[in-house]
Amino acid sequence: MLFRDATLADGRVRDVRIEGESIAAVGTDLDATDESIDADGKLLLPGMIDAHVHFREPGFSHKETWTTGSKSAAAGGVTTVFDQPNTDPPTIDAESYNRKAELAAASLVEYAINGGVTDEWNPDELLAKPLGALGEVFLADSTGEMGIETDLFEDAIKRARDAGIPVTVHAEDATLFDESVRDRTDADAWSAYRTAEAEMRAIEHACGVAERLGSTVHIAHTSTPEGVDIAADAGMTCEVSPHHLFLSRDDLDELGTFGRMNPPLRSEDRRVGMFRRLVEGDIDIVATDHAPHTLEEKDASIWDTPSGVPGVETALPLLLEQARRGTISYERVRNVTATNVADIFGLESKGRIEEGFDADLVLVDPDASTDIRGTQLHSKCDWTPFEGRRGVFPELTTVRGMVVFCGGSFADHSGRNVRVWG
């Protein structure tokens, strides 16, 4: 396969030739192949590596499955996902890992399986498995009630350090939640309850533990500029989710309970600060925290509705729309969705359009901006918090040289566990 005259994120126009599963050459005037794609005027990017998804199997297949979630990923230009451990059963030992691995074989895209930490985990069994990462390790309860105490957190950090496995942390301190707002019923009550201070102090604690133990942690779904700064000052990495870049408490009148997630939406000023830090390079990666629930489940009171929103199909399109408008560069989009993610999580053959790298690619018409509609997305939950916003969606997505999505159609393809196949 040959992509002819594709524009790369840095503005260079190049031919990109694929042989088998890999990029064989990047250059000008490369010899044509049996299958050539005219990419003149199109943008060619490395596929997004989403380090934070909840594909819900096993246990919650009414919300999402590996089939529906991976189709949604491919249609959004995501070619690798890291699935989180808070399923039923949670991924905390060899048996639960093996069960999830059997289900993950249905994935259309590449994947990694993360391991969880609870009082019942079996670290010797779990850490012997090919984990994407340990975590997200929950410092406060979220979906799945996997919040843990400090002693267990420190033990998990030590064990992961010794095993050479990355650790991702859900950083909120439940002792700093504001119980005085529990009698409120408005949609903003959740943001008032799970305070910004609770996140900041938990990030400070997690980074301090990692520093003391000679290790590192990756902070998941950072929602406050102050939290980003704490992580950066400690030499740790962090991610931001699209909902904390594009939505704020100002949107809750419209979103209602569909805007509840953990950590919650913050003020508009903090949202602006997060986007600024993304553009300026203080935030390492974008990861979706794709956490689907059904319409019926979300249509409940603010205290009863489950936390989480879908996002794996809309993250890259939302960022590409901002690049089209000139508020962020295409190079920065490439880095926070692919290159930096590969570096942080040790995916040595992914995240770049260079000779010898996996042919995980996304072809985009950068001017093809369109409205985002939940009913047109491929997640099983059939809704989006970004309804009506603009996005630039891929025309074509390849995984290891195989076209898995093109023009609304999907190929019959099986992704691989990146920790097994490399």
Beta strand 361-364 with 43-46: parallel, antiparallel or unpaired? antiparallel
Give yes or no for residue 184 having a pLDDT over 80.
yes
Beta-bridge partner residues of 110: 80
Give yes or no for residue 144 having a pLDDT over 60.
no
Can you tell me the distance from the alpha carbon of 123 to that of 65, in angstroms, rounded to the nearest whole number? Answer: 27
CATH 3.20.20.140 fits 48-348, yes or no: yes
Can you tell me the distance from the alpha carbon of 312 to that of 317, in angstroms, rounded to the nearest whole number? Answer: 10
Give yes or no for residue 146 having a pLDDT over 50.
no
pLDDT tens digit sequence for 223-236: 999 999 999 999 99
Beta-bridge partner residues of 417: 111
Q: Of 15, 93, 251, 289, which residue is the catalytic one?
A: 289
CA 242-88-309 angle, to 5 degrees, is 20
Q: What is the DSSP string of 317-386?
A: HHHHHHHHHTSS-HHHHHIIIIIHHHHHTT-TT-S--STTSB--EEEE-TT-EEE--GGGS-STT---TT
Helical segments of 108-237, H only: 123-126, 150-163, 189-193, 196-212, 225-233
b/e code 315-333 from CB counts within 10 Å (16+ = b): bbbbbbbbbbeeebebebb
pLDDT band at 99 (very low <50, low <70, confident <90, very high): very high
289: tokens are: 């925290």
**Confidence at residue 422, expressed as pLDDT on a 0 to 100 scale:** 72
Query: Is 124 known to be catalytic?
Result: no
Residue 98 parent element (H or E): helix 94-104
Scanning the structure block, which residue is given the tokens 């023009």?
407
Residue 270 parent element (H or E): helix 268-280
Give yes or no for residue 389 having a pLDDT over 50.
yes
Give yes or no for residue 270 having a pLDDT over 90.
yes
φ, ψ (nearest 5 deg) of residue 192: -70, -35
**Annotation: binding site:** 52, 54-56, 86, 136, 170, 221, 289, 293
Mean pLDDT of the chain: 96
115: tokens are: 């391991």
Average pLDDT over residues 130-136: 96
Which of 23-37, 109-123, 142-156, 208-222 shows the lowest per-residue confidence on average (mean pLDDT)? 142-156
pLDDT band at 145 (very low <50, low <70, confident <90, very high): low
pLDDT band at 148 (very low <50, low <70, confident <90, very high): low
**Confidence at residue 169, expressed as pLDDT on a 0 to 100 scale:** 96
**Please, are residues 372 and 384 in contact by the beta-carbon 8 Å criterion?**
yes
Q: Which of 200, 265, 266, 268 is nearest to 233 (CA)?
A: 200
**Confidence at residue 139, expressed as pLDDT on a 0 to 100 scale:** 81
**Annotation: binding site for substrate:** 54-56, 86, 293
End-to-end CA gap in the chain: 22
Predicted TM-score (pTM) of this structure: 0.97
**Please, are residues 110 and 360 in contact by the beta-carbon 8 Å criterion?**
yes
Collapsing DSSP states into helix, strand and coil, what is residue 85? Answer: coil
Which of 143-152, 275-284, 310-319 shows the lowest per-residue confidence on average (mean pLDDT)? 143-152
**Confidence at residue 140, expressed as pLDDT on a 0 to 100 scale:** 61
**Annotation: binding site for Zn(2+):** 52, 54, 136, 170, 221, 289
**Please, are residues 392 and 364 in contact by the beta-carbon 8 Å criterion?**
yes
Residue 296 parent element (H or E): helix 295-298
**Confidence at residue 89, expressed as pLDDT on a 0 to 100 scale:** 97
Average pLDDT over residues 96-115: 98
Q: Where are the domains of the chain?
A: 48-348
